[in-house]
Amino acid sequence: MATAARDLGEGEHHSAIRVEVPSTTANLGPGFDVFGMAIGAFWDAVELEECPKRSLELELSGKYGKSIPRKHDANSACLAVKHFLKKFGIERGIRIRLEKNIPVGKGLGSSGASAAGAIVGLDRLLGLGLPKDELVALAAFGESCSAGAPHADNVAPAILGGFVLIQSYDPVRAIGIDPPPNLELAIAIPDIEISTKEARAILPAQVPLGEVARNIGRASSIILGLLRGDVSLIGSGMVDAIVEPVRAKLIPGYDVVKRRALEAGACGVAISGSGPTMVAVVDNRVAKASDVAKAMAEGFSDAGLDCESLAARPCGGAKVVWMR
Ligand code: HSE
């Protein structure tokens, strides 16, 4: 049994909690499963309450509450909570109320937000105070049901906020970097859905060394751009030679949307997570993110797709709204 179970009850203990969690964008081009950023566009709310029966209960609400699985092993919040309780040998009944406001199947970290909110909430509810990397690892496990494998590039920014680099998976080590204040995002969400599991299943198992080399150069320039506060350098790194060319085929209008974003002044543009949403990085001293978002929406429209478009800023991670 892990250490935290022995400590259970020694910290602050509450019986109910509400956590709000932001949408996220993952990959940013070459950073597959490694880069992620919290975006202040949509928020889920996860409420956890101890219940007398030693069972897991799930209530769904919100605009997209009917769009996500109710079965516990197919729901990222339930899967994460079950894994957490089992890992620490904790026998408690938990009711999860999940208010799903982040669009589902769009590449905006919807399943990651559910898992991240559930893990942050459970940790606080039980008064454990686990280290952040452990929270990220537990939440990443919850992603297995929607992605087919744990990945941390959505849950880490959902928990920590800002830009996050997953430096290691075994053990999980997530490193946060504050995005520059002039970095804004233009987001275009077309009216199609892509399953993350399917978008991962089509990826090549092996890739040419030359493509890996190009990706390392671009990924490194994203990190350097973040450290220097150079949005143009960040954007120029958002070109992926490995994953995006395969997934682009699932997104009608991909090339047009990308071109329109760059013409409107974006510094870089990429598929958000496994798509179909496209995300552009904008230096707000050079162009307006809302103009870029509009141009991207026109690109999708040219491809015959309706689209929701918006401008947003990077934001902080999961926050506890109340505990009682
Ligand atoms: N890194 C993950 C992927 C993110 O691209 O499959 C999924 O949102």
- The predicted structure's pLDDT at residue 46: 98
Across 25-40, average pLDDT: 98
**Cα distances (angstroms) measured from residue 229 to each of 181, 289, 301:** 8, 17, 33
Ligand 1 pocket mutation pick from 25, 39, 151, 193 by most atoms within 8 angstroms of CB:
151
What's the gap between Cα 96 and its chain centre?
20
Distance of CA 25 from the midpoint of ligand 1 (Å): 9
Residue 70 has, within 13 A of its CA and on its CB side, a CA count of 7
Domains and CATH numbers, the chain: 2-178+315-323 (3.30.230.10), 183-312 (3.30.70.890)
Task: Give the C-alpha distances (Å, rounded to integers) separating 293 from 256, 257, 258.
Answer: 13, 10, 11
Query: How far is ligand 1, taken at its centre, from the CA of residue 322, in Å?
Result: 31
Q: What are the beta bridge partners of residue 9?
A: none
Which residue's CA is minimally distant from atom 8 of ligand 1?
273
**260-302 tens-digit pLDDT:** 999 999 999 999 999 999 999 999 999 999 999 999 999 999 9
Q: Which residue puts its alpha carbon closest to atom 7 of ligand 1?
A: 273
Ligand 1 atom 4 nearest Cα: 273
Q: What is the pLDDT of residues 119-169, one digit of tens each?
A: 999 999 999 999 999 999 999 999 988 777 889 999 999 999 999 999 999
Is 6 a residue whose pLDDT tops 60?
A: no
C-alpha triplet 301, 306, 312: angle, nearest 5°: 95
Cα dihedral angle (130, 136, 141, 145), rounded to 10 degrees?
A: 130
Task: Point out the residues that are catalytic.
Answer: 143, 196
Q: Estimate to the nearest angstrom the gap between the alpha carbon of 227 and the chain centroid.
A: 21
What mean pLDDT comes out for the span 60-66? 95
Q: What is the side-by-side order of every strand in the sheet holding 278-283? A: 268-271, 278-283, 183-190, 307-312
In the structure, which protein residues have their CB atom closer than 6 angstroms to any atom of ligand 1? 26-27, 32-33, 107, 147, 151, 153-154, 196, 199-200, 273-274
| Centre of ligand 1 from the C-alpha of residue 254, in Å | 17
- Of the chain, the percentage scoring pLDDT greater than 70 comes to 96
The helix/strand/coil state of 56 is strand
Q: Whose CA is nearest to atom 6 of ligand 1?
A: 274
